[in-house]
Chain A
Amino acid sequence: MYEIRLHSRGGQGGVTAAKLIAQAAFLDGKYATATPLYGAERRGAPVVSFIRIDDKPIRIYSQIRKPDLVIVLDTSIMQTVDVLAGLKADGKVLVNSQHPMELGSHKVYHTDLTGIALSLDLVLAGNPILNTPLLGAVAKAGIISRESAQKAISSVFADDRNTKAAVKAFEDMEP
């Protein structure tokens, strides 16, 4: 089983991102679940979502304690939340950042999802849309296929700037 914990802020689309990643894995022929962790969150507050991917049906409903991958959509969260908590020794991190980051001995992917969204004017209620470009980055990291990422996005969003953003993130991110 491959387990992903996704950190974002309320309003950044983290919950939808988790659903899209799981849906893409499902389209790849895997079993997958996506769960938001609901508390008293509101716009701007730190939010956590979980994605599980496996070859057999998933029977676990509790939170992910030892993720294989941690995704951080907003690095300012790292000032208040220990995003690396429980991350496996060989676990990886994917951050939305213009610059590379060093986080212990973990492999860290970085990509400027915010910049990609803004360059395509992909903005909703004043916030850049990060979840659809994120799918391109997750595909580049080898978690889901590029084709399924595109299919998952177009099944939810009609505007083709979303798939364009994913392609751009896929091309921009260093493997």
Chain B
Amino acid sequence: MLTFSTGNKAVATAVKDAKTVVVAAYPITPQTEVVEETANNVASGALKARYIPVESEHSSMGACIGAAATGVRTFTATSSHGLVYMCEQIHMSAAARLPIVMANANRALGPGWNIGAEHTDSMSMRDSGWLQAYVSTVQEAYDTTLMAFRIAENENVLLPVMINLDGFLLTHITQPMDTIDDLGDYLPPTNTPHAIDINNPGGYGTLTPPTEHFKFRHDIQRGMKDSVAVIEDAQADFAKRFGRTYGMYEEYLCDDADVVIVAAGTLAKESEVAADILRKEGIKAGVLRIRWLRPFPDLTAALKGKDVVVIDRDYSFGLGGILVNEIRTKALEAFIGKDGKANLPFSVIAGLGGQEVTYDDIADFVRNRKSGGELWFGVTE
């Protein structure tokens, strides 16, 4: 059904349409509407779920861990300080192989106090074993939340999935959204092989010697590796059934591009407008939008022989932009020419704390690119 929705409401609508069984969440700006809308859906009977109000984010993920351990479909949502407050449980839920789905409204961490969009909150969780998607429209927020349940619950994955929406920019914008009236069997019933069964008691989270621990960790990496095929299948089946196509990453005018802008979230959509402007000037620009950060896609073929400008709405202090460093690592061969000379990505740090970045600014990043350089947008040394 064609409707008009905010990003937050899109997530809540997908949680309802997925017939989620347990939701435990704590409201935090700018995610609050996800919690309000879901609580309303449970109160009205539109979603026949158990809604568990909790006193903190650490507890919300704790309740989700308990619920998912019984094998039921489980959801929560958070943002920024809420996400880092549940950090222990983030690692716990992935290591326990529990297919929890969570929406995170990307927001800066304080102090100084700031509630604007920034990706450092979720990217600081990138080593936890959670799959991570970054969405860029209200429609994509709805579609990806639905897919997330299928991917997380797949027996070859059994890892939690985080869907990231730029705080305010995407959580609060209102856009057209087409909801799915009948999901059919797109989302099969959950079938968690290690679900708690009172008729077949077992031990959970017991003391584990190094050899076993090592195997468990290797199993998480295997699940993460196998998740690529599961994501691709979930996206292909989604396109076949519902007509909307998604990839591990999205390309805009990249085929003949001399320079490719790489970004995640709303900045990547804004970059498409910059690419259009640059092409009118004779600069053949394209955009590669990172949709899945974990598992991280192989971009070597996509970026080979191109100038690359990476925009990070995040930072790893003491290293650099997180995206640009992931890209340098995973697509290193793309940046070495036939002559053996390197043409490294130009790293732009922009949009932290909701900093205003326009398509004109992005076009300037491309015009002023320097191989291997780093620019903090708006900062003069």
Binding site for B on A (CB under 8 A): 18-19, 22-23, 26, 31-36, 38, 58-63, 65
Q: Which residues of B have CB within 8 Å of A62? A: 270, 356-359
Of the stretches B69-77, B167-175, B191-199, the one at the interface is: B167-175
The answer, yes or no, to whether B376 is at the interface (CB within 8 Å) is: no
The answer, yes or no, to whether B115 is at the interface (CB within 8 Å) is: yes
* Contact B266–A38 (Cβ < 8 Å): no
The answer, yes or no, to whether B293 is at the interface (CB within 8 Å) is: no
Some 5 contacts from A to B, beta carbons below 8 A apart, are A26-B176, A32-B176, A34-B173, A35-B174, A61-B266
- Of the residues A19, A34, A38, A58, contact of B168 by C-beta under 8 Å: A38
Interface string of B149-177 (1 = CB under 8 A from A): 00000000000000000101110111110
Tell me if A's interface is mostly helix, strand, loop or mixed.
mixed
Q: In the complex, what distance in Å separates the CA atom of A32 from the CA atom of B4?
A: 9
Q: In the complex, what distance in Å separates the CA atom of A32 from the CA atom of B272?
A: 18
- Of the residues B115, B174, B267, B356, contact of A19 by C-beta under 8 Å: B174
- Of the residues B30, B115, B174, B269, contact of A61 by C-beta under 8 Å: B269
Closest Cβ–Cβ distance, residue B254 to chain A (whole Å):
16
Closest Cβ–Cβ distance, residue A10 to chain B (whole Å):
15
- Of the residues A18, A31, A60, contact of B359 by C-beta under 8 Å: A60
* Contact B172–A63 (Cβ < 8 Å): no
Q: In the complex, what distance in Å separates the CA atom of A141 from the CA atom of B267?
A: 33
Give me the 6 closest cross-chain CB pairs, A-B, nearest first.
A61-B266, A62-B358, A34-B174, A59-B269, A23-B4, A35-B173
Closest Cβ–Cβ distance, residue A4 to chain B (whole Å):
13
Q: Which residues of B have CB within 8 Å of A32? A: 4, 175-176
Chain B contact patch, size range: 20 to 34
* Contact A61–B170 (Cβ < 8 Å): yes
The answer, yes or no, to whether B273 is at the interface (CB within 8 Å) is: yes
Q: Which residues of A have CB within 8 Å of B173? A: 33-35, 61
Q: Which residues of B have CB within 8 Å of A60? A: 269-270, 273, 359
Q: Which residues of A have CB within 8 Å of B166? A: 61
Q: In the complex, what distance in Å separates the CA atom of A152 from the CA atom of B330?
A: 48
Q: In the complex, what distance in Å separates the CA atom of A169 from the CA atom of B173?
A: 27
Q: In the complex, what distance in Å separates the CA atom of A95 from the CA atom of B272?
A: 35
Q: Which residues of A have CB within 8 Å of B270? A: 59-62
Beyond A38-B168, A62-B356, 17 additional pairs, beta carbon < 8 A: A19-B174, A22-B174, A23-B174, A26-B176, A32-B175, A35-B172, A36-B168, A59-B272, A60-B269, A60-B270, A60-B273, A60-B359, A61-B166, A62-B270, A62-B357, A62-B358, A63-B358
* Contact A33–B174 (Cβ < 8 Å): yes
Closest Cβ–Cβ distance, residue B3 to chain A (whole Å):
9
Q: Which residues of A have CB within 8 Å of B168? A: 36, 38
Q: In the complex, what distance in Å separates the CA atom of A130 from the CA atom of B357?
A: 32
Q: In the complex, what distance in Å separates the CA atom of A26 from the CA atom of B138?
A: 15
In chain A, what residue has the closest Cβ to B2?
A: A26
- Of the residues B267, B273, B358, contact of A65 by C-beta under 8 Å: B358
* Contact A33–B175 (Cβ < 8 Å): yes
Choose among B4, B30, B170 the residue with the greatest number of A CB atoms under 10 Å from its CB. B4
Q: In the complex, what distance in Å separates the CA atom of A26 from the CA atom of B176?
A: 7
Interface string of B361-379 (1 = CB under 8 A from A): 0000000000000000000
Closest Cβ–Cβ distance, residue A3 to chain B (whole Å):
13
Q: In the complex, what distance in Å separates the CA atom of A68 from the CA atom of B190?
A: 51
Q: In the complex, what distance in Å separates the CA atom of A22 from the CA atom of B359?
A: 22
Closest Cβ–Cβ distance, residue B1 to chain A (whole Å):
13
Q: Which residues of B have CB within 8 Å of A35? A: 169, 172-174
Which B256-276 residues have a C-beta within 8 angstroms of A? 266-267, 269-270, 272-273
* Contact B176–A61 (Cβ < 8 Å): no
Q: In the complex, what distance in Å separates the CA atom of A31 from the CA atom of B270?
A: 16
* Contact A61–B272 (Cβ < 8 Å): no
Choose among B30, B173, B270 the residue with the greatest number of A CB atoms under 10 Å from its CB. B173
Closest Cβ–Cβ distance, residue B263 to chain A (whole Å):
12
